[in-house]
Amino acid sequence: MTILVEVSPEVEARLAAEAVARGMAVEAYAGKILADNVPTYTTGTGILKPGDVKRMSEELSRGSENLPILSPEANNRESYYEDDRIRYS
């Protein structure tokens, strides 16, 4: 697909500089930027189907198995706030 996009001379210069730095043609680099930033999701109806929640949960938690397990002491209110003048019960 061919898309014609008007950009300012400043954006064109920055795009060209980045393309050269990556050893790519400006058109190829612009296409890569678009491809890398187009949402991978489709606009839906807003109605979840069976399995959607499971799929979304798996997608959200992907990679979380590598996160460290924190002790309860590391995950308390004081660990989030530096101001120790205010105490909450």
Mean pLDDT of the region 48-58: 86
Is residue 20, in this structure, part of any structural domain at all? yes
Mean pLDDT value across residues 68-86: 75
pLDDT for 44 beyond 80: no
Is 40 within the bounds of a domain?
yes
Helices 9-21 and 26-37 cross at an angle (nearest 10°) of: 90
Averaged pLDDT score across all residues of the chain: 85
Residue 79, in any domain of the structure: no
Residue 38 belongs to some domain of the structure: yes
**pLDDT reported for residue 79:** 75
Is the pTM higher than 0.85? The answer reads no
Could you give the number of structural domains in the chain? 1
In a domain, 73, yes or no: no
Does some domain include residue 24?
A: yes
Task: Tell me, yes or no, whether 13 lies in a domain.
Answer: yes
Tell which residue, 25, 24, 30, has the closest CA to residue 2.
30
Predicted confidence (pLDDT) at residue 83 exceeds the cutoff of 70: no
- The span from the CA of 3 to the CA of 51, in Å, is 36
pLDDT at 81: 76
The per-residue pLDDT for 17 is: 97
**Shortest CA distance to 29 belongs to which of 82, 71, 10, 21?**
21
Lowest mean per-residue pLDDT among 24-28, 41-45, 53-57, 84-88: 84-88
User: CA 28, CA 34: separation in Å to the nearest integer?
Assistant: 10
In a domain, 57, yes or no: yes
**What domain range is 30 assigned to?**
9-66
